Amino acid sequence: MAKNAFYAQSGGVTAVINASACGVIETARKHPDGIGKVYAGRNGIIGALTEDLIDTSLESAEDIAALRHTPSGGFGSCRFKLKSLEKNKREYERLIEVFKAHDIGYFFYNGGGDSADTCFKVSQLSEAMGYPIQAIHVPKTVDNDLPITDCCPGFGSVAKYIAVSTLEASFDVRSMAKTSTKIFVVEVMGRHAGWIAAAGGLVADHGIPVVILFPEIEFNQEKFLAEVDAKVKQHGFCTIVVSEGCHYPDGKFLAEQGTRDAFGHAQLGGAAPVVANMIKDALGHKFHWAVADYLQRAARHIASKTDVEQAYALGEAAVNLALAGRNSVMPTVVRLSDTPYKWEIGAAELKDVANVEKFMPRDFITEDGFGITEKCKAYLSGLIQGEDYPPYKNGMPDYVVLKNNPVAKKLPGNFEL
């Protein structure tokens, strides 16, 4: 009889991680000869460790299909990194115990860099611990910082959200600039890599004066204020997109700049209000600021069609790789051309993916450090192509909440995390 599969979502969720889940489950269902049931981990890998598995075979085809247009992690995710086999053999032994008990032969792990590392470790279990398991990593991260793959599912939709929202808010500021707000600051995610911030730079081609603050570029207050001043003098207003990871040469984040609440707690606010007040102090302009936070990574309502298609295709490819007998591998997006954006699915060895972080190349950022180059625009443009609206019911998106019925436990006792 065909082995069952384990699927789990890991780390920060996205607008399209469920589209990958949909790709995995729908494809597995087409191959009952190769894959038995797909069991999802409730709250990610924790579900495997605690034998808290979800039987996805009890979900209707309609509900599984609806995952494609539903943001967030339909089975729950977690922030939990397995230590190395040497440091915590107990966890790996437990995983194998659970896999054995439920006849699991496939491990699909849907996550970012840390998860790729975990998946790589699991892929080594066949040899190290004599249990046959095929571990396939399904890439996902709004940070877009995985190597080898052209991009990471989740990023294209955040990029589209940030580009569209920055354009809209900039139109707003331009309307108000004569007598009121001249500065709009939006803070975006990206603690280490500036990919999301870069997406804000796409508004420059729509007539918007924009200054980007990347984590890859050390913050220089004097140069920054001069740039904003010049743009306001020329255009009457200016938009600033600041990455949460923007920092001073000494590594201190802008968001940490001495902000204290009444109790003396540090880092109450974000980078956006710091930047906005800095401009107000130096140049005197009225400002508004926004912090998009989860709104950006959850914004399925304005997801990129390309992103949704890639997320699904990578889930589908993961299953096909498993059926082809592969282990320790991650399906990737391979770019074939920029304009029009064409791509196909490839595969990378997990040993080449784990623990490698992909930053913005320096030639994607303009020389002055405040904008994106044509090369970067050509890269980003493909990823935001197309809209893929969810269905609506009574004015609200019709997102699915699965039944998430548990698989009956077979092991005695509990596992302490």
Please select the residue that binds a copy of itself; options are 338, 352, 357, 387, rule is CB under 8 A: 387
- By CB under 8 A, the residues from 99 to 118 that bind a copy of itself are none
Instruction: Take residue 322 and report the two structure tokens written for it.
Output: 């498993």
Of 105 and 273, which has the nearer Cβ to a copy of itself? 273
Residue whose pair of structure tokens reads 């599984």 in the numeric block? 64
The single residue among 34, 36, 76, 369 that binds a copy of itself, judged by CB under 8 A, is 76
Q: Which of 155, 219, 253, 399 binds a copy of itself (CB under 8 A)?
A: 399
Among 62, 179, 367, 412, binds a copy of itself (CB under 8 A): 179
Residues 55, 143, 145, 307: which is the catalytic one? Answer: 143
Query: In this complex, which beta carbon is closest to a copy of itself, that of residue 33 or of residue 281?
Result: 281
| Torsion from C-alpha of 323, 324, 330, 333, nearest 10 degrees | -100
The only residue of 29, 192, 288, 351 in contact with a copy of itself, by rule CB under 8 A: 288
143 is catalytic: yes
Q: What is the footprint of a copy of itself within residues 5-44 (CB under 8 A)?
A: 9, 12-13, 15, 43-44
67 binds a copy of itself (CB under 8 A): no
409 by Cβ neighbours in 10 Å (0-12 / 13-18 / 19+) ranks as: middle
CB of 254 to a copy of itself, least distance (A): 11
Residue 376 sits in the site that holds a copy of itself (CB under 8 A): no
Q: Tell whether residue 261 is a contact of a copy of itself (CB under 8 A).
A: yes
# binding residues, a copy of itself (CB under 8 A): 83
Q: If binding is defined by CB under 8 A, does position 270 make contact with a copy of itself?
A: yes
Q: Which of 28, 137, 15 is nearest to 73 (CA)?
A: 15
The answer to whether residue 404 forms part of the interface with a copy of itself (CB under 8 A) is: no
Of 78 and 313, the one with the shorter C-beta distance to a copy of itself is 78
The helix (H) or strand (E) run that includes residue 158 is helix 155-176
Figure out which of the listed residues 126, 220, 366, 385 binds a copy of itself, where binding follows CB under 8 A.
385
Region of 55-63, 294-302, 343-351, 360-368 interacting with a copy of itself (CB under 8 A): 294-302
Sign of the torsion angle spanned by Cα atoms 124, 351, 322, 300: positive
Active site positions, annotated: 143
